[in-house]
Amino acid sequence: MLGRRTLIMGIVNITPDSFSDGGRFFGTQAAVEHGLALAAAGAEIIDVGGESTRPFSDPVSADEETRRVVPVIEQLAAKLSIPISIDTTKSEVARQALAAGAAIVNDVSALRLDPAMGPLAASQGVPVILMHMLGTPKTMQVKPDYRDVVAEVRGFLAEAIARAEAQGIDRSRIVVDPGIGFGKTFAHNLLLLQQLAAFQELNVPLLVGVSRKAFIRNLLKPADAKDIPADLPVVEAGSLAAASAAVLNGAHILRVHDVAGTRAALTVIDAIRQAV
């Protein structure tokens, strides 16, 4: 699936409290229509999630998460030829999502929160995305601290790869994500993007998600404002800048909200990368 063109993963949040869209796609039909629109705009993967992982968010039950995502995945899988990923930390949700047509497991806990997740992915032979997160979404932004954020995140991901392989997941099916915004300060996020090339030594594809995140909004907000809405055009511009930096520093896949804008930016970025 990976080649000369950077891949785009389009985000479908089926939650009432998403930081990025305020629950606009919480209903099944709205979520399906959004997923189809993202695919039409150029996404190569659609990422469906039914539990918010924004800072300080509360978890939802596996039953509720399944109720949100499975009908959407079933309808998208029937209409799309591109892969659908299930964004979950729960093996039961992943199992039902895979049965409904999902083809990738995107686990922000890197197989740590549910011991059955790794064996499930191995038995199904599906790719897994392993992300670095400090703690849980509820606690990750409570004074995150590192001696060397790049080295520690890289070390965590190396251990996550080894853990996945030990559970029977082939290395060729592993993707890693440094977890921008998940247990990091604004400075940590900037350093990770600046030094993203350090993760190439892991020898697996690298996914990066920077779209609309708080460190971008913090850089762009007026000095007297606490925050600005995540879907402002200026935030999209900042997201494209961060995404472009990520690709120039080695990212293979971008997880984004604005697929059309990202595809346009990547057409230029990929051309620059490959110029001879």
Helix 186-194 to helix 233-248 angle (10° resolution) is 40
Specify the DSSP element, H or E, that contains 117.
helix 117-124
Out of 212, 217, 255, 263, the active site residue is 255
Closest CA to 266 of 83, 1, 42: 42
147: left (phi over 0), alpha (psi -120 to 50) or beta: alpha
Q: Do 85 and 45 meet the contact criterion of CB atoms below 8 Å apart?
A: yes
- 255 flagged as catalytic: yes
Q: How far apart are the first and last CA of the chain?
A: 23
Measure the CA–CA gap between 230 and 151, rounded to whole angstroms.
Answer: 30
Q: How far is CA 103 from CA 15, 98, 126, 236, in A?
A: 21, 6, 6, 28
**Residue 162, number of CB atoms within 10 A of its CB:** 11
213 is catalytic: yes
Options 54, 154, 213, 263, the catalytic residue? 213
**CB of 139 within 8 A of CB of 169?**
no
Which segments within 94-143 are labelled E, that is strand? 104-107, 128-131
Residues annotated as part of the active site: 213, 255
